[in-house]
Structure 1
Amino acid sequence: MPVKSAGSSRPPKKAPGLRGSFKKRLENERTKNMAFINPTPDQFKQLMAREYKGPIVMVNLLKFKPDGGSASYNKYSEATRELFLGKNITRMVYRGHGLMPVIGEEQWDEIALYEYPSIAAFIEMQRDKQYQAVVPFRTEALLDSRLYCTLPKEEKL
């Protein structure tokens, strides 16, 4: 289903297509039955179709594999930080341990918030070949995850 901007009756501009190894990585994740580890190609297309141009915060809910998942995720996190340090692509807002659910039942090992100047910056990071080389650390680290794209409350959808 195409995503429309609030207040607009026309469909959104066609999003640029997924291409190359970025598209292949997303498609391969589907075949590995990792439904909640990495986004689907359709989820990325929907995100790219959004007309919103302002800053976003990605909320990461992470459940690690036992015996090394946390260490593997730390490798991914450190490698990502080094790749994009000073490039104004991403900034860690918060990263902490999940203590316990107060509402609901899902238990997460870590919660991390990362800010991006725009959806385009987030997509640019995902397409970066050096970033794609460190994604396997993340994939191997996780048993389950959720990733929510959020925008400041004062912004209109």
Structure 2
Amino acid sequence: MSEQCYNLVNVYNDKYNTAVFALKALESLTACVYMSGDFNCRSSLWDPECENHRTVAIAIMDIAADMGLDWAEPANHGPNHMLFNRDLADTVIDLVLLEMAEVLHRPPKPLHHYQEQSDHIPLASLVVIKPEEAGPPWLCIKSGSEEEEKFLEN
């Protein structure tokens, strides 16, 4: 049985967008089935209170698409970064990106009861990793053999 490698990527994107630049270098990362973390990026795509979809958000979605991933909208979607400064609005900057086929079937769930003193609400995800379905072994007739000759005669 051949071994397969699956990649799970955790992201912390700082104010210089270091993670986005690093992810661009990983665009060819194969078998990436999950990416999540604090992307520190607001966008109208995932935050209904945000009015724009800027370049960094576009880059995140492009990189994800190149890896076969898409944003998975959490169940009971709402802000997941609760600011300690109550004069500022809470935001959505923590994202979960799953394989496109899984986005609608397995939405992440906010775990409010685990937030405690953090300013972030944890998001739980179920990631199903199945080895490629093994089909029947490939059968072939050796080129130039008697078997090939008989096969071609029929």
Give the TM-score category using the shorter length.
under 0.3
Bigger Rg, which one: 2
Which protein, 1 or 2, shows the higher relative CO under an 8 Å CA cutoff with sep ≥ 6? 1
Q: Which structure is higher in helix share?
A: 1
